[in-house]
Structure 1
Amino acid sequence: MKKKQAAAMVTAAVMALSLTACGGGGGAGKDASGDKEGGLSGEITIWSWDVALAHLEAWSEKFQEENPDVTFNFEEMGVDQVYQKMTTCLQSGIGLPDIVSIEGEQMAKFGEKFPGKFEEFTDMINPDDFFPIKMSECTVDGKVIAYPWDSGPCGMFYRSDLFEQAGIKAEDIVTWDDFIEAGKVLKEKTGADMLCMAESRNDTTYRLLMMEGGGFYFDKDGSTQVDSEASVQAMETCKKMYDAGITFNNSSWDDMVAGMGADKFACIADAVWMVGSIKDAVPDQDGKWAVMPLPKFQADQEAQGASNGGSVLAVPSASKSAEASKAFVKFVMEDVDANVEGFRNYGLYPSYLKALESDVFKEGDDFFGGQQIFDLFTEIGKTVPQVNYTANFAEALEMSKNSMAKVMLNNGDPTEVLNGEQEEMKAKFGK
């Protein structure tokens, strides 16, 4: 009993400190107004992280050229810090920012747990102007409560030199079965594994394959569906690759980078942001990388992509400068030049289709052999289906990692393991 009381006191103390930390937020005391000559007015406080915040700060100056009565405060913090402060401040209603960056996959959690606490953009945005997956990230209960920003369409990064050494042609890899057979040849000829795939640290490969097959943890109504055909197919394919002995265990980011530099594997299935990570990790492999779409499950299957990562911008309803804040969000998210500069300067790959028509996204990349990789990712992004992340995404992700470990490391049957996970999720989430 004493332990429980002590824990409660610690929790209360932490909450009190958190509330104190929340005390400096927002544009409190200044109303946004469009009545003043020269545009909007108000004080806008923005919470975001590193390069995202730097980009917003740069474009705030351009916004102020038309709206000189709008002032900005910028608070840089890490992703976890943003979420901790947002949760505490949404519960108290005190100290919220006017604009906040949130990872796309996490937006549904905040929207569902705190209904009515975010401004709507439903009437301000044309959904056809953005990747479908990004619109689903921003939509909760049929309302658009955030604006799409950077996106994470996924492809297969591969070492073109290792493929050439093994006599493998990327264009011959159409299906996952083709990929596995090519991996066996690669292993025999070069000693390198075909794919960097975590056995338990994350479920990225399984999740991408599940999305590619039209599935996800949850259906459109938020009900658990990890026992679906698409889910089982994805897990079975991961197991086939693992059992074939062609996977490199991505046990940590550092191990992956070390393996990349030591030619331990040839392929990484992940999002467009991996472009910068590869360049930073192995600069001496300039010209030795290329990108292809993820293989299909059947050769005649219509192409359907997958996504991993990216963020959105939201405006808490408690903002005293909501009108100016929403106008700034729309301005920076739908300005073609802003999107292009965000990509050029900070690697923020946009989800705004009009920006993706710009020449910069059609240029060849010398590191990737001159290939027009970003144009490829744009086409992939258009095919990524909408999914329902729900408020339970983070917990589902952890449970899915455990299922990966059971299947890969304990030789579990994919169907049985996923049926068990389905029942566990239903018991935990209620559906």
Structure 2
Amino acid sequence: MNLKKIIAVVAVATATLAFVGITKSNEVSAASSKQVTVWAWDDTYNVLAVKEAAKIYGGSNVNVVSMSQDDIVQKLNTALASGSTKGLPNVVLIEDYRIQGYLKSYPKSFVDLSKVVDKSKFAPYKFAVNTVNKKIYGVPFDSGVTGWFYRTDLLKQAGYSADDMKNINWDQFIQVAKDVKNKTGKALISEDPSDLGLVRTIMQEAGSWYTGKDGKTVTIQKNKALKYALSLYAEMIKQGLADQVSGWTAGQQAVQNGDAASAVIGSWYSSTITASANQSGKWAVAPIPALPKSLGGKSGKVYASNSGGAGWYVIKSGNTTEDNNAKTFLSKTFATNKDLMATLGTKIGLISTLTSAQKTDVYKAGNDFYGGQATLEDFAKWESSIPSVNFGDQTYAIESTMTGALQDVLNGKNIDSVLKDYQKQVEAQVANAQ
């Protein structure tokens, strides 16, 4: 081969390699243009949900980062307070109790999702927290619809049938606890005095909160539901009817070890219950106790409440393409896809707030762990009765103060005096936060 031919071959090869390089570069660029980074907590629940959603959007285009909820909150607080969203994800999961604080403090840091979310297709109560000035900023995800998980064998020993458990109000709840304690030696529930989850459940069931409908006006002193809930909570602890624990893990262990015969909590707690495989067939779920007459409860009516729950939010990146990719990801998955929600109902026990998912066969199927009960269908039915409550932007800050109110009641102080005192304390706290 002469020199001219060699030069020609080299030139063609070089051109070919260059073309391949450009093509590969374009492919990478195209792939990168669809990239979405998502932050979520809990590898067995929310993170797994993102991984299932990624299969629909394009697995390699979704980078899901798992971290604790506390870490997510800390990173969001630090970045948003600095005025920069650099280092934050495109999509982040935020708990319903926290989101109003972010939306009101940093409204320009979140993308308006009003055109992504069809409000009519989700549980109505979710929009009290993810909406500001009629703009929807979050895609509702899991329902925190509450249920009364109970050990059928232990409640049977105490003299209660499945039908009995469906017709009990909170006044009668104390008597059930006494019967369980006397007949089985077990506590009915476990409680951590630093966690007011049960108080929240009863308040929302009655359609009230620590603040009024505007999410700002403090409603501690004359809040009948709050007074009732604190009194019931204190009575359970003082009479030894609740297994008093310290920390979330200890509460889970009390249920899994059989120290507590039941739990009144959100549907998502099912993963904790079912983790004890040796208890399969020994559990059932009833609606939470009905409101007592003192709170306007009516006989025969099924009451419902909420505990926890979260939604998906898009952080403004400053890059329109990135923001649009995040919106497209949510639009194809959590905002519309009932098949995805049905899959998650099977895989993680998700009670979706996308109502179309609740009409799938998955929701009608019996669950062997719960003795064949169609738990997803029951939770979905109760979800429709949850009162819509504006949590405001100070729920956790208020609760950090209100745990002191519970301690005062436990120490024997008059509850009316306690609530009057804490009305002033919380008003000052909320005013300082403005």
TM-score (norm 1): 0.82
- Partners of 1:162 and 1:64 lie apart in 2 by 47
Aligned: 1:256 with 2:257:
no
- Partners of 2:247 and 2:219 lie apart in 1 by 28
- Partners of 2:303 and 2:67 lie apart in 1 by 35
* SS in structure 2 of the partner of residue 89 of structure 1: helix
* SS in structure 2 of the partner of residue 219 of structure 1: coil
Sort the Cα spacing of 1:424 and 1:134 in 2 relative to 1 into closer, same or farther, 3 A: same
Shift of 1:157: 1.1
Contact 2:345 2:363 in 1 (8 A): no
Shift of 1:398: 1.4
Find the partner of 1:268 among 246, 251, 263.
263
1:183 alignment counterpart: 177
1:287 alignment counterpart: 281
Shift of 1:257: 3.9
* SS in structure 2 of the partner of residue 164 of structure 1: helix
- Partners of 1:167 and 1:94 lie apart in 2 by 57
Sort the Cα spacing of 1:126 and 1:406 in 2 relative to 1 into closer, same or farther, 3 A: same
Sort the Cα spacing of 1:424 and 1:322 in 2 relative to 1 into closer, same or farther, 3 A: same
Find the partner of 2:57 among 52, 63, 70.
63
Consecutive unaligned residues in structure 2, runs of 5 or more: 1-29
- Partners of 2:77 and 2:197 lie apart in 1 by 26
* SS in structure 2 of the partner of residue 309 of structure 1: coil
For residues 133-212 of structure 1, the aligned pairs below 5 Å read: 133-172=125-164, 173-198=167-192, 200-212=193-205
For residues 195-344 of structure 1, the aligned pairs below 5 Å read: 195-198=189-192, 200-221=193-214, 222-227=216-221, 228-280=223-275, 282-296=276-290, 297-298=292-293, 300=298, 302-320=301-319, 321-333=322-334, 334-344=336-346
Find the partner of 1:400 among 394, 399, 402.
402
Aligned: 1:411 with 2:406:
no
Sort the Cα spacing of 1:189 and 1:62 in 2 relative to 1 into closer, same or farther, 3 A: closer
Sort the Cα spacing of 1:262 and 1:84 in 2 relative to 1 into closer, same or farther, 3 A: closer
Shift of 1:240: 3.8
Counterpart of 2:65 in structure 1: which amino acid? E
Counterpart of 2:76 in structure 1: which amino acid? M
- Partners of 1:53 and 1:189 lie apart in 2 by 41
Counterpart of 1:313 in structure 2: which amino acid? W
Shift of 1:360: 1.1
Contact 2:94 2:310 in 1 (8 A): yes
RMSD: 2.5
Contact 1:93 1:318 in 2 (8 A): no
Shift of 1:319: 4.6
- Partners of 2:61 and 2:180 lie apart in 1 by 57
- Partners of 2:90 and 2:142 lie apart in 1 by 20
Aligned: 1:53 with 2:47:
yes
Shift of 1:202: 0.5
Contact 1:132 1:385 in 2 (8 A): no
2:99 alignment counterpart: 107
Q: 376-385 or 337-346: which moved more?
A: 337-346
Sort the Cα spacing of 1:58 and 1:379 in 2 relative to 1 into closer, same or farther, 3 A: closer
- Partners of 1:256 and 1:74 lie apart in 2 by 29
Counterpart of 1:208 in structure 2: which amino acid? T
1:30 alignment counterpart: none
Q: How many residues align?
A: 387
Residues 282-331 of structure 1, C-alpha deviations (whole Å, 9 max, x = no match): 32222111111111123626433211122211112335222221121122
Residues 154-198 of structure 1, C-alpha deviations (whole Å, 9 max, x = no match): 011111111111222343342112222222222222222223233
* Seq. identity, %: 26
* SS in structure 1 of the partner of residue 389 of structure 2: coil
Contact 1:217 1:224 in 2 (8 A): yes
Sort the Cα spacing of 1:60 and 1:319 in 2 relative to 1 into closer, same or farther, 3 A: farther
- Partners of 1:171 and 1:313 lie apart in 2 by 38
Consecutive unaligned residues in structure 1, runs of 5 or more: 1-35
Sort the Cα spacing of 1:194 and 1:346 in 2 relative to 1 into closer, same or farther, 3 A: closer
Shift of 1:336: 0.9
Shift of 1:252: 2.9
* SS in structure 2 of the partner of residue 343 of structure 1: helix
Sort the Cα spacing of 1:319 and 1:367 in 2 relative to 1 into closer, same or farther, 3 A: farther
- Partners of 1:153 and 1:100 lie apart in 2 by 22
Structure (1 or 2) with the larger CA radius of gyration: 2
- Partners of 1:427 and 1:45 lie apart in 2 by 39
Find the partner of 2:70 among 75, 80, 86.
80
Residues 176-232 of structure 1, C-alpha deviations (whole Å, 9 max, x = no match): 12222222222222222223233x221111111111111111212121112212211
- Partners of 1:237 and 1:250 lie apart in 2 by 17
